[in-house]
Structure 1
């Protein structure tokens, strides 16, 4: 039996330059923080077909201010089309940036697991399983979480508290997981 290998994005590596399109038509580089903040959290979600993703994004909104107080900007993205994201917005109550159109090549560059839909009713394209990347002010992956299913994701309150601790200069906390 042969195995296919994926290139996982390692802690401490440069986050790839990936441009994404927001619903407004604005093109934004995923890892570039905005809103006067200096770190970015990139949340990759499966798409509108995933109720767990909808719940996770709405929970993320409830903690948006906690992340901002730590200097962390938020952006979410999926492989959905613009029309699918527009439809999904009816179930989302978020104010952070959200983008669409993540390509297979970009999913692979991020080291994400990729799945095929179970049926045409689920969605009409291969999609990324969840991934979360916190990119520091040097463009390095400071925190990474990649899952192969929607049931395993970072608990957001713990993540917000952890990032506040990491960002506190008194703790001098380095990027972890640097052995390859």
Structure 2
């Protein structure tokens, strides 16, 4: 496996294209609007399923702020359909993230503990928020399933960022 990249806030977010369950491709990044992409481990992760439900509960608040929300995993289309049926999100679930993309996004990658868990390597949770200028405004990359942003704090933080034109933080390299 190659070297993992570290994305820096403020840098242009290189758009990434993912598959959607309707068969079309979707490119995240560079949309001209606020976008939030939640990286999830996949169907095998009960914490991910619960978190998708928590995101869904706050989807109206994200929409009110003009932030589009999506989630992505390395799961297959079939696995992602099962996740969608179980969680019924009102936002897109992308699938098929490959290891090159995981590395380019600076994600931590795990091996399945057994064939019963899943049949492929998978990313640990992350969040990328891209601003209307196409820059990475917020980034959170975790190495375990129980490390995820508090969604109420995220919504209130995004409200503050957007309303006050709060600058991108953590840009010193």
TM-score range, shorter chain: over 0.9
2:97 to 94, 102, 119: 102
**Structure 2, unaligned runs of 5 or more:** none
Q: 2:130, 2:136 within 8 Å by CA — same for their partners in 1?
A: yes
Cα 1:139–1:110, aligned 2, differ >3 Å: closer, same or farther?
same
Alpha-carbon deviations, 1:5-40, whole Å to 9, x = none? Answer: 53111111121221111100111102255xxx8200
Within 1, Cα distance between the matches of 2:48 and 2:97? 16
1:88 to 66, 79, 83: 83
Runs of at least 4 residues of structure 1 off by over 4 A?
none
Alpha-carbon RMSD across the aligned residues, in angstroms, is 1.4
Q: 1:16, 1:110 within 8 Å by CA — same for their partners in 2?
A: no
Aligned to 2:73: 78
Within 2, Cα distance between the matches of 1:143 and 1:167? 12
TM-score normalized by structure 2? 0.95
Alpha-carbon deviations, 1:29-77, whole Å to 9, x = none? Answer: 02255xxx82000110000000000000110000001011111000110
**Superposed counterparts of 1:49-68, under 5 Å:** 49-68=44-63
Q: 1:31, 1:42 within 8 Å by CA — same for their partners in 2?
A: no
Aligned to 1:155: 150
- SS for the counterpart of 1:90 is helix
- SS for the counterpart of 1:6 is coil
Within 1, Cα distance between the matches of 2:165 and 2:160? 9
Within 1, Cα distance between the matches of 2:58 and 2:106? 26
Aligned to 1:172: 165
Q: 1:16, 1:109 within 8 Å by CA — same for their partners in 2?
A: no
Equivalenced residue count is 172
Within 1, Cα distance between the matches of 2:49 and 2:30? 24
1:31 to 29, 45, 65: 29
